[in-house]
Chains A and B, each alone.
Chain A
């Protein structure tokens, strides 16, 4: 167990809708990152938060946004869902040189 939890585990949405995914990191892990993993591919970096501020972003459009809270939880929000947004969304918290991934949320967009 990594101590990183995500909710929900599965989610089905329709094109154009909005979704919020949640992550709870281990206490003391100030850095959280979000990734999108399409089937058969490696995780793609979406963005990273450190002490509630975004400090790194991958090649994702602005409709992907996030928040990090003082209690080590975080959110990934995706607006105007597209079919290609169907993927496994992973959050990961970092401690020193090690990154701990949560189990992921499987999002299906119909």
Chain B
């Protein structure tokens, strides 16, 4: 079946450092979306990438979509305590099914 794998599962980061979370799909995606979920909260949409090789930036966050539209990454620079939470990628296929990865849970050491 269609699966989206996400690594690492946990990321412990020193405040001010950078980190990257990676997402891989077993099949080609029509688009990929990224969400952030704070503890006890619900997923909040961050961005959608549609084009092969697309790169988008939101302040300290950089999102990439691979050339084959099977992988994606989220890179955060100069991590802050407000970045704490779980980051999910979600791949959408042409049949409207959205497959979420297991998420990367980020903790920040001050």
Contacts and interface: CB of A to CB of B under 8 A. Distances in A.
Nearest to A98: B45
22 contacts: A2-B44, A42-B6, A42-B100, A42-B101, A42-B103, A44-B100, A45-B98, A45-B100, A56-B95, A56-B97, A59-B1, A90-B42, A90-B43, A92-B43, A97-B31, A98-B45, A99-B98, A100-B45, A101-B35, A101-B42, A101-B43, A103-B42
Interface residues of A, number: 24
Contact of B45 (A35, A99, A102, A104): A99
The binding surface of chain A is classed by DSSP as strand
A33 B98 contact: yes
Contacts of A58: 97
Interface of B: 1, 6, 31, 33, 35, 41-45, 48, 50, 88, 90, 95-103
B34 to A, nearest CB: 11
Interface in A52-101: 55-59, 90, 92, 97-101
A66 to B, nearest CB: 14
Contacts of A59: 1
Contacts of B101: 42
